[in-house]
Structure 1
Amino acid sequence: MTDTNPTPPMKANLGIGTILGGTFSLYFKNFPLFFGVVFLPFVLYSLLVEAPMRSEMVVDPANPFGDVGTTLLLMVLSMLLIIILQAVIVRMSISLSGGQGAQAGAAIRGAVTGLIPIILLGIVASIAIAFGFLLLIVPGLYVMALLYVYVPAIVFENAGFSALGRSETLTKGYRWAIVGIVLILIVINWIISLIYTGVVVASVMDIGAIASGNPDSAAIATSIPWWLNVLSAAVQAFILPIGLIASGLVYARLREIKEGGSTGDLLRVFE
């Protein structure tokens, strides 16, 4: 008798352990590259842009919002720097995982051509995630997982403004596994940040003693040691690549599961 209800094929596992192992393996094998890509721009921005601008800021008790323009400009510049670095690192991680080298030129092109979609879709994604967290933490994590690979879709396959839909399609059926990866990375980042915060608090206490009683923020800014800015850039360079490499590997794995082929094959398609 013919079986009219064949057993459906088993769903392939995303492989949380494999993704995390691959993330840290790729990270440490290419540590000088990933660290340098983040550290050099951050330290130059901190020392040559942020520190001089903050030193010009003066707190006026009669006009506490007098320097809001400078603060907003610094926030925008910092955001743009992080977005560009995110795009570059994600693209490099996919190329490296496929055995094609860093492909720095392709990574930079992907970051530049995808900058506007990344910014605008990032705003939409942030609002959606924030709304999810307002409902409860779990919906926020689920939305984060749903949109987890929109940046790789932009910088790798030039998905543009359709990247959110592309991420929704690729992550379907694997979102709770992605949530597990995100939570583990959050804990790792929290531990590193906690150590860094301890160093900063101790330093700020010393700075506060130096500038005690002086409301002029320029005095405080000039009291901040240069090495604290360098340390901040180093911490960013140490933390930032980890989560971005993971998102690149998750994207590549989802492409392999749902569309077949290896990461190397996908790279050749988009060469």
Structure 2
Amino acid sequence: MRGEVLTFDEATGLGFILGDDGARYSFTKEDVQPPSVLERSQRVDFIAEKDWRAQQIIAMRPPLITSAMSGGGGGAGVFDLGRVIQRTFTAIKQNAAIFFGAAAILVGLPNVLAAFGQSSMLTGGSEMSGLVLIMIGAVLNLIGLYLLQGMVVKAAVNSFNGKTTTFADAFSVGIKKFLPLLGTAIIATLGMMLGFVLLIVPGIMLAVMWSVCSPAIVVEKRGVFASLQRSRELTKGYRWHVFGLLVIYVILSWIIGAAIGGLSLATGGTLTGGTPNLMVSLITEPLVSILSGVVASAGVASLYYELRSAKEGVGSEELASIFD
């Protein structure tokens, strides 16, 4: 949510914010990130808690950061890994209908087709028809994944600004940005594959550097190569933080896949030597794709917002204004 500072007493470290929803929220100086002196009428972005407290407060434009408050460091902002994760799941909660509805249609249904194809091939059905279904599902899943990215970034950035998004508006952005998103993904994937083949580490470095290409395309309306360069600039100086975040999301994805896949194995999956349970496969495989797609897309949007806030002092108002 966004709002403006009503009062802030630097001596006591206490203050109040008037949210754009009309409510008053109290805060302490420990809630301001990075530590800074907030002035009256300062526009801020914050997370509103149920007890009318404001937390994770970020000034929409960089205020004065004193050497005492920053521990003698420079003027750069503070990247908060916990805040990125919190914003990711806050955005998912606020836009659950759009995120999961879109994911169910765009990546869930293609995975249902692929599951039918796999089951047909493994249970003695027509190998040709099974292969066709798998290929159709893979193509539709590829298209759906990048449409989903555009939709999620649109809705997430708006939610950071305290705005709501309709499914139609989000889908419109996904359609408009599909080709540059797909083109960027192809180039980035080829580059990372080459990096992994050469020495693994270069591939990981490229994955980190290019981690926020999609939001650069959707929010800043950049082209394919410009978005790659923009992502490289934004992640510079924070790449270990970004790497840690990517590791967390990969582990979370593994946990989701293992938990849901365990159900398939428990009911006769191929790893147990039994016959694949078609009904379970039709539920578990799309569900893994839906959950992973939503978390990954929302995570990238939150990461982009945090990087711009930390490096450029840009708040959600500036980011969301591109859609107004």
- State the TM-score bracket (shorter-chain normalisation): 0.7 to 0.9
Q: Secondary structure of 1:89's partner?
A: helix
Kindly indicate whether residue 252 of structure 2 is the aligned counterpart of residue 198 of structure 1.
Answer: no
Q: Secondary structure of 1:173's partner?
A: coil
Matched residue, 1:171: 235
Q: 1:198 to 1:250 in 2, by over 3 A?
A: same
Q: CA deviation at 1:37?
A: 2.4
Matched residue, 1:15: 80
Q: CA deviation at 1:21?
A: 1.9
TM-score normalised over the length of structure 1: 0.77
Q: 1:12 to 1:235 in 2, by over 3 A?
A: same
Contact 2:106–2:147 (8 Å) recurs in 1: no
Aligned pairs for 1:112-191 within 5 A? 112-161=175-224, 162-191=226-255
Matched residue, 1:79: 142
Matched residue, 2:278: 224
Normalized per residue, the structure richer in strand is 2
Deviates more, 1:118-127 or 1:35-44: 35-44
Contact 2:117–2:129 (8 Å) recurs in 1: no
Deviates more, 1:142-151 or 1:254-263: 254-263
Cα shift readout 1:179-230 (whole Å, capped 9, x = no counterpart)? 11101111111111112222222334489755xxxxxxxxx7xx722x5313
Kindly indicate whether residue 313 of structure 2 is the aligned counterpart of residue 248 of structure 1.
Answer: no
Q: CA deviation at 1:87?
A: 2.0
Distance 1:42 1:56 in 2: 20
Q: Does 1 or 2 have the higher relative contact order (CA < 8 Å, sep 6+)?
A: 1
Distance 2:147 2:84 in 1: 24
Normalized per residue, the structure richer in helix is 1
Q: CA deviation at 1:69?
A: 5.5
Cα shift readout 1:240-263 (whole Å, capped 9, x = no counterpart)? 211211110111222233443311
Cα shift readout 1:134-185 (whole Å, capped 9, x = no counterpart)? 3444432221111011111112222122211121122222121111110111
Q: Secondary structure of 1:101's partner?
A: coil
Distance 1:31 1:70 in 2: 29
Q: Secondary structure of 2:267's partner?
A: helix
Distance 2:302 2:119 in 1: 41
Contact 2:147–2:174 (8 Å) recurs in 1: yes
Contact 2:106–2:141 (8 Å) recurs in 1: no
Cα shift readout 1:12-41 (whole Å, capped 9, x = no counterpart)? 122111111221233234434422321244
Q: CA deviation at 1:54?
A: 6.2
Amino acid at match of 2:291: F
Q: Secondary structure of 2:165's partner?
A: coil
Contact 1:84–1:111 (8 Å) recurs in 2: yes
* Matched length: 250
TM-score normalised over the length of structure 2: 0.66
Q: 1:9 to 1:123 in 2, by over 3 A?
A: same
Deviates more, 1:72-81 or 1:28-37: 28-37
* Backbone CA RMSD of aligned residues: 3.2
Distance 1:163 1:23 in 2: 22
Distance 1:54 1:194 in 2: 19
Distance 1:205 1:148 in 2: 34
Distance 2:114 2:73 in 1: 57
Amino acid at match of 1:99: G
Query: Which residue, 77, 85, 90 being the options, matches 2:153?
Result: 90
